Structure 1
Amino acid sequence: MTTKKSGAEALFQSMMNQGIKYVFGLPGAKVDKLFDLMEYSNDPKAPKLIITRHEQNAAFIASGIGRITGKPGVVATTSGPGVSNLATGLITATSEGDPVVALGGQVPRNDVARLTHQSIPSKELLSSATKDSVEVQDANNISETFANAYQTAMAPKSGATFISLPKDVLDDEVTTDPINTLAPIEQGGADNETINKIIEKIKNAKLPVILAGMRSSSSEVTAAIQNLLHKFSIPVVETFQGAGVISRDLEKNYYGRVGLFRNQIGDTLLKESDLVIAIGYDPVEYEARIWNVDRTGEVINLDSIAPEISNEYQPDLVVQADIAKTLNSLSETLPELSLSDDLKKHLHETQESFLSKDAIPESKSGEGLHPLEIIHELQEQVNDDTTVAVDVGSHYIWMARHFRSYKPRHLLFSNGMQTLGVALPWAIAAALERPEQPVVSVAGDGGFLFSGQELETAVRLNLNIVQLVWNDGYYDMVKFQEEAKYGRNAGVGIGSVDFAKYAESFGAAGFRAESADELRDALKKAFATKGPSVIDIPVDYSDNIKLASTLLEDVLN
């Protein structure tokens, strides 16, 4: 016999049935019944309620959970502005393939069409920011609605879903049983005929190159790529979200990352290649009109979803299947192959040139630390299990080009929306999911204050997060590009903030480092500190113009 319960109780049970560990958000009258259940439940399977300082940041943390685990993070907010504040976080998650289920309170059903307090068309508002946006009209549908939102969020291409929950629906009586734990979504690998087509193209290619995109970063796909490279050693170019696909023992196969200006070693390899094997590639990270405009070679598109076809991207072979299963079948079937000696020599010379870019230039005393100095000191302090979340700004270009990561989803970038403010929320997600490992957040002085209030959340949860703030008093990623295009900048200057004191006001440890030695010391202290730490680092961005320099014909130039 079904036990009668409210809509809120049915939703709460549904979250437990799907294994939700955390719910992030802010309270309000339209969702207080659900929040009360989470706050006072004694069920060990109940998700932990974590209150944040802004709904957008709650969505960012949930998307961080989704990116790190591959399973949807959950965010819950009240009606009106509580829902509208979710938009940026959800559209970022949907663009960048991070599974999220968002729950938004709504006015009672008979007030939805009225100009009443906090009445907005929530479902319609968030339909463009999500894979699916629905409003529940009957409490008996709450559990199945959540189950479908959970499944849709996780299905390729992963992204955000939204459920609008009128208050009277959460209060209404439910007479149906909640949906049980969902079976995992399984996809088959490519068939033998398709595998043979891939092999034929590889055998006929002089220089096959793997372009590892965002959907190559799951642990299963990364392992399959590494398995293939042990069978046939070829160059790999990572996108920003593909960072960490190449393990330390395969570093000889690593030829950098691409994701912004067309002036990287990876770009030269893609141009030279007569066969690009695009694995889990998504054009939102790096459009084909940048890297595939003047190539003469072929492209194999291997992905769990169909590619977006454009004038610049018309793959010669499209394989839509489980990526890992297909790659493992390919590795088993592929004959012994090797690149020519001349090509190996050329690739070695190319890689030597690539490695020389990491050299730290002579410092300019009193003008802040060079970006490569900061990256070098950070690289020395982390290990392969460290999660490093990177915000958007000039620092993110330097980090993407020069910071090494050897495990997937341990170096996190926003390269679909390039959304400011993601780093600290993602670091909070990482610290919750990987509590035994160090976590670093890297931001500029502009982007940090988009979500810096969540430092209080990190303090409250006693999370071991080291926050670096590259401080120069500008929105510098815009500044240097304006100067490259127009010879001057506009609208990019911002005021000075003492971020060490800012950290201390939240109860975190605060440090300031004005030299490489001071940074080294501050990093050691920060990593040894329990709870969050912030390191304020004056940065010298005078070499930023080199980020936009021409290697190949560049979209900026």
Structure 2
Amino acid sequence: MLKNANDVDTVWDCGADLVVRNLEAQGVKHVFGIPGAKIDRVFDSLVDSTIETVVVRHEANAAFMAAAVGRLTGKAGVALVTSGPGCSNLATGLATANSEGDAMVAIGGAVKLDDRLKQVHQTMDTVSLFKPITKYSAEVVASSSISEVMSNAFRVAERPRPGAAFVSLPMDIVNAPAKGDVFTNLPAPAMGPAPADDIRTVAELLKEAHSPVLLLGLLASRPENAGAVRKFVAQTGVAVAGTYQAAGAIDAAQFTRFAGRVGLWNNQPGDRLIDQADVVVTVGYSPVEYDPPLWNRNVRRPLVHIDVLPADADRHYRPAVELVGDIAATLELLAAELDTLNASPEANAILATLAQARVTLTRKSADLGGCPVHPLRIVKELQDIVDAHTTMCVDMGSFHIWIARYLHSFRARQLLITNGQQTMGVALPWAIAASLVRPGEKIISVSGDGSFMQSSMELETAVRLKSNIVHVIWVDNMYNMVEIQEMKKYSRRSGVEFGPINFKAYAESFGAAGFAVRSADEPRLTLRQAMEVEGPAVVAIPVDYSDNPKLMEPLRADYLI
């Protein structure tokens, strides 16, 4: 690079160099992707940067990895792919990140500007393709705008509610010399708390309530917000439920006021707690996490919406008051207006009964025998190896519900769960990214045999990176979550069965350690052996899903399943 005479703009050998320097200015540590002719100049520029290039085996997985970086760090992860199918393969990953609230920027190669309206090799209007499923989708049309487009992509992806952004880089833009300055990482504008008058209005509403309840959402599990949530619950004693994606927002000290996670089917203790509430306060919640018609049929009771964005209008979600602003700061000011809040006898009974049921369930789970293995036994063994220095990434399937309902997590962003799109195949890519972001931790990822095979090619990536991962596969040779719903609706199954795989041999063929559980006595020992492996390990456990229909049935008050 060279400075010109008036020292205003820097001249770069190619646009790719300016792109990469902007990535460095944003603090990017890793770029996940697959090269191709339209984007290989950017990959070449990465060689001379401080950024590690992580070559993956499918572009959707690059997007999943970038999104996991965003969820774990708050800073947008980056996926880099070539034109045509390289970009279109990103679609599921971008849609997932956007609905999950995970900050990521995807960069896609494109044909030369002069060819973009012609039917040439790999021409595709990717900007239009991604507009409906991202927060930001733009093409760089001149090298002088590289820094502007890149900076805006990161700013939009990271705040106020995170999501996905896409940048199209035409081949001639990245290959030709460029002129422009790198945008340093512009400081995020500080978001203040909600207006004081609105906070006082909510305080009065909560003081008068007979049984208020907090419903926590994804943004409540951001570390800074989780700390404020915990202080609020400790001070007020308010009863709490959370969506699957709010995992870790409540710690052990407030566990007795926590009625568990809610989602999918309206039959959990947390659902009963919400049903009896006369005021519901949502914190960092998005309707994509749990449909309002399922938990808010009583639309006449007041709702309070605490978030970084106003609520979308919905006939089942009409807040009486919206506290829009910095969530942590808003909760702290609201707590300052309150003492201990009321709780109805019914709410206290739900929480007391639940506390006893948890003890009973733990004891029962440890005694479950037989092979295939009952889901609660597997959850119990996983719970016993998840400590403060472990991160868990959970795929989509029946196992997802068992873990979301019955595995406890007391650290913000310790348990990553997909629920916005309920995307299969995310767990292993998420785990690989987590092993890079949290190199001192053991990462446990969990999938079914169906969801695992949607991204299992990334085992090679995990082996190459020496990722500190234990991937646990629940094996039943079926898309079981679909099957149980088909049986309930039609009394027969369709399109859900597939053949067996020797996952131990499959893992070993990639160079990973492979383990296969063959009896009910083996999960505990086998999981601990896998945890001792340096590098990736795969544990296949045959699962008995015969109790799955109970997941959709009403629960007894004194028993969790």
Tell me the TM-score range normalised by the shorter chain. Answer: over 0.9
Shift of 1:522: 1.2
> For residues 346 and 215 of structure 1, do their structure 2 counterparts lie closer, same or farther at Cα, with a shift above 3 Å needed?
closer
Instruction: Indicate whether 1:360 and 2:368 are aligned.
Output: no
Letter in structure 1 aligned against 2:80 = A
Query: Which secondary structure does the structure 1 equivalent of 2:365 belong to?
Result: coil
Query: Which secondary structure does the structure 2 equivalent of 1:467 belong to?
Result: strand
> For residues 278 and 487 of structure 1, do their structure 2 counterparts lie closer, same or farther at Cα, with a shift above 3 Å needed?
same
Q: Which residue of 1 aligns with 2:471?
A: 467
Instruction: Report if aligned partners of 1:246, 1:253 keep a CA contact under 8 Å in 2.
Output: no
Q: Deviation string for 1:393-428 (max 9, x for gaps)?
A: 000010101011111211111101000000001111
Q: Which residue of 2 aligns with 1:25?
A: 33
Q: Which residue of 2 aligns with 1:4?
A: 11
Instruction: Report if aligned partners of 1:278, 1:302 keep a CA contact under 8 Å in 2.
Output: yes
Q: Which residue of 2 aligns with 1:35?
A: 43
Letter in structure 2 aligned against 1:8 = A
Q: Which residue of 1 aligns with 2:306?
A: 302
> For residues 353 and 87 of structure 1, do their structure 2 counterparts lie closer, same or farther at Cα, with a shift above 3 Å needed?
same
Q: Which residue of 2 aligns with 1:444?
A: 448
Query: Which secondary structure does the structure 2 equivalent of 1:450 belong to?
Result: coil
Q: Which residue of 2 aligns with 1:372?
A: 376
> For residues 110 and 340 of structure 1, do their structure 2 counterparts lie closer, same or farther at Cα, with a shift above 3 Å needed?
closer
Hey, what's the Cα distance between the residues in 2 that align with 1:267 and 1:542? 24
Instruction: Indicate whether 1:397 and 2:404 are aligned.
Output: no
Q: Which residue of 2 aligns with 1:16?
A: 24
Hey, what's the Cα distance between the residues in 2 that align with 1:436 and 1:186? 31
Instruction: Indicate whether 1:534 and 2:556 are aligned.
Output: no
Hey, what's the Cα distance between the residues in 1 that align with 2:180 and 2:26? 17
Comparing 335-344 with 317-326, greater Cα deviation is found at: 335-344
Instruction: Report if aligned partners of 1:265, 1:354 keep a CA contact under 8 Å in 2.
Output: no
Instruction: Indicate whether 1:424 and 2:428 are aligned.
Output: yes
Hey, what's the Cα distance between the residues in 2 that align with 1:362 and 1:476? 24
Query: Which secondary structure does the structure 2 equivalent of 1:127 belong to?
Result: helix
> For residues 438 and 167 of structure 1, do their structure 2 counterparts lie closer, same or farther at Cα, with a shift above 3 Å needed?
same
Shift of 1:248: 1.4
> For residues 150 and 342 of structure 1, do their structure 2 counterparts lie closer, same or farther at Cα, with a shift above 3 Å needed?
closer
Shift of 1:484: 1.3
Instruction: Indicate whether 1:180 and 2:187 are aligned.
Output: no
Shift of 1:192: 2.1
Q: Which residue of 2 aligns with 1:293?
A: 297
Query: Which secondary structure does the structure 2 equivalent of 1:163 belong to?
Result: strand
Letter in structure 2 aligned against 1:332 = A
Q: Percent identity?
A: 43
Hey, what's the Cα distance between the residues in 1 that align with 2:82 and 2:351? 55
Letter in structure 2 aligned against 1:22 = H
> For residues 507 and 65 of structure 1, do their structure 2 counterparts lie closer, same or farther at Cα, with a shift above 3 Å needed?
same
Instruction: Indicate whether 1:218 and 2:225 are aligned.
Output: no
Hey, what's the Cα distance between the residues in 1 that align with 2:211 and 2:344? 9
Q: Which residue of 1 aligns with 2:139?
A: 135
> For residues 355 and 266 of structure 1, do their structure 2 counterparts lie closer, same or farther at Cα, with a shift above 3 Å needed?
farther
2:84 to 65, 73, 80: 80
Letter in structure 1 aligned against 2:23 = M
Instruction: Indicate whether 1:260 and 2:268 are aligned.
Output: no
Instruction: Report if aligned partners of 1:385, 1:407 keep a CA contact under 8 Å in 2.
Output: no
Hey, what's the Cα distance between the residues in 2 that align with 1:429 and 1:532? 13
Hey, what's the Cα distance between the residues in 1 that align with 2:206 and 2:385? 40
> For residues 172 and 371 of structure 1, do their structure 2 counterparts lie closer, same or farther at Cα, with a shift above 3 Å needed?
same
Q: Deviation string for 1:124-182 (max 9, x for gaps)?
A: 11111211111111011111110000000011221111011000011222222111121
Q: Deviation string for 1:281-310 (max 9, x for gaps)?
A: 100010101100136532111110111221
Hey, what's the Cα distance between the residues in 2 that align with 1:185 and 1:447? 40
Hey, what's the Cα distance between the residues in 1 that align with 2:346 and 2:491? 43
Query: Which secondary structure does the structure 2 equivalent of 1:133 belong to?
Result: strand
Shift of 1:362: 6.4
1:113 to 96, 113, 117: 117
Q: TM-score, normalised by structure 2?
A: 0.95
Q: Deviation string for 1:366-408 (max 9, x for gaps)?
A: 4x00000101111111202311100000000101010111112
Instruction: Report if aligned partners of 1:255, 1:354 keep a CA contact under 8 Å in 2.
Output: no
> For residues 164 and 202 of structure 1, do their structure 2 counterparts lie closer, same or farther at Cα, with a shift above 3 Å needed?
same
Hey, what's the Cα distance between the residues in 2 that align with 1:406 and 1:369? 26
Hey, what's the Cα distance between the residues in 2 that align with 1:336 and 1:57? 47
After superposition, residues 470-485 of structure 1 pair within 5 angstroms as 470-485=474-489
Query: Which secondary structure does the structure 2 equivalent of 1:312 belong to?
Result: coil
Query: Which secondary structure does the structure 1 equivalent of 2:288 belong to?
Result: coil
After superposition, residues 166-177 of structure 1 pair within 5 angstroms as 166-177=170-181
Comparing 333-342 with 487-496, greater Cα deviation is found at: 333-342
Instruction: Report if aligned partners of 1:214, 1:241 keep a CA contact under 8 Å in 2.
Output: yes
Hey, what's the Cα distance between the residues in 2 that align with 1:47 and 1:70? 18
Hey, what's the Cα distance between the residues in 2 that align with 1:259 and 1:342? 21
Query: Which secondary structure does the structure 2 equivalent of 1:128 belong to?
Result: helix
1:548 to 514, 539, 552: 552
Q: Which residue of 1 aligns with 2:4?
A: none
Hey, what's the Cα distance between the residues in 2 that align with 1:346 and 1:402? 16
Letter in structure 1 aligned against 2:276 = E
Letter in structure 1 aligned against 2:15 = G
Letter in structure 2 aligned against 1:27 = P
Letter in structure 2 aligned against 1:445 = D
Hey, what's the Cα distance between the residues in 1 that align with 2:426 and 2:344? 44
Hey, what's the Cα distance between the residues in 2 that align with 1:314 and 1:357? 37
Hey, what's the Cα distance between the residues in 2 that align with 1:356 and 1:161? 46
Instruction: Report if aligned partners of 1:155, 1:185 keep a CA contact under 8 Å in 2.
Output: no
Letter in structure 1 aligned against 2:279 = L
After superposition, the CA RMSD in angstroms is 1.6
Hey, what's the Cα distance between the residues in 2 that align with 1:105 and 1:337? 55
Q: TM-score, normalised by structure 1?
A: 0.95
Instruction: Report if aligned partners of 1:96, 1:416 keep a CA contact under 8 Å in 2.
Output: yes
Instruction: Indicate whether 1:335 and 2:339 are aligned.
Output: yes
2:417 to 385, 409, 413: 413
> For residues 313 and 482 of structure 1, do their structure 2 counterparts lie closer, same or farther at Cα, with a shift above 3 Å needed?
same
Instruction: Report if aligned partners of 1:301, 1:307 keep a CA contact under 8 Å in 2.
Output: yes
Query: Which secondary structure does the structure 2 equivalent of 1:360 belong to?
Result: helix
Hey, what's the Cα distance between the residues in 2 that align with 1:435 and 1:143? 31
Letter in structure 2 aligned against 1:11 = V
Q: Which residue of 2 aligns with 1:383?
A: 387
Instruction: Report if aligned partners of 2:299, 2:316 keep a CA contact under 8 Å in 1.
Output: no
Instruction: Report if aligned partners of 1:239, 1:285 keep a CA contact under 8 Å in 2.
Output: yes
Letter in structure 1 aligned against 2:40 = D
Shift of 1:198: 1.2
Hey, what's the Cα distance between the residues in 1 that align with 2:498 and 2:393? 23
Comparing 344-353 with 318-327, greater Cα deviation is found at: 344-353
